[in-house]
A = this chain, B = another copy of it.
Amino acid sequence: MSIDPAPILAAIKFDENGLVPAIAQAHDSGEVLMMAWMNADAVAETLRTGRVCYWSRSRQGLWRKGESSGQLQTLKSFLVDCDGDTLLLKVEQQGVACHTGHRSCFYSEAQSDGFREIAPVITSPEELYGQ
């Protein structure tokens, strides 16, 4: 999948920091995997290459998802919401989306005594990132 970024970028409303939130959802199971941020360069690279690239706010740089862990996201569909200020990426997730080794970053559910983990670690962080 490769899409010309120009008309897409023109339609997205980036915030005052030049960023837009992007939700990644497994295209097959529908599981919500993670939410991260994109700047214009990350959107353009994702659309051109078909491999999802975010903007890391902590590292202040492009974050090519899976670059260090091998857990790539291949773009299947790229959607924007009615306000133009949030993205939904339907992706094929290789392995796990979360750096903790959970399939999804949303593995903690509110229960009467606080958040509780409701999903297992699939791949240990040691396996993902080496020792």
Contacts and interface: CB of A to CB of B under 8 A. Distances in A.
Interface string A10-26: 11000000000101010
Given A23-B35, A88-B32, A107 B78 contact: no
B114 A35 contact: no
Contacts of A81: 34-35, 105-106, 108
A75 to B, nearest CB: 9
Q: Helix, strand, loop or mixed for chain A's interface?
A: mixed
Contacts of A99: 82
B110 A3 contact: yes
A14 B118 CA distance: 23
A63 to B, nearest CB: 14
A86 to B, nearest CB: 4
A73 to B, nearest CB: 15
A123 to B, nearest CB: 14
Contacts of A115: 7-8, 11, 80
Nearest to A114: B7
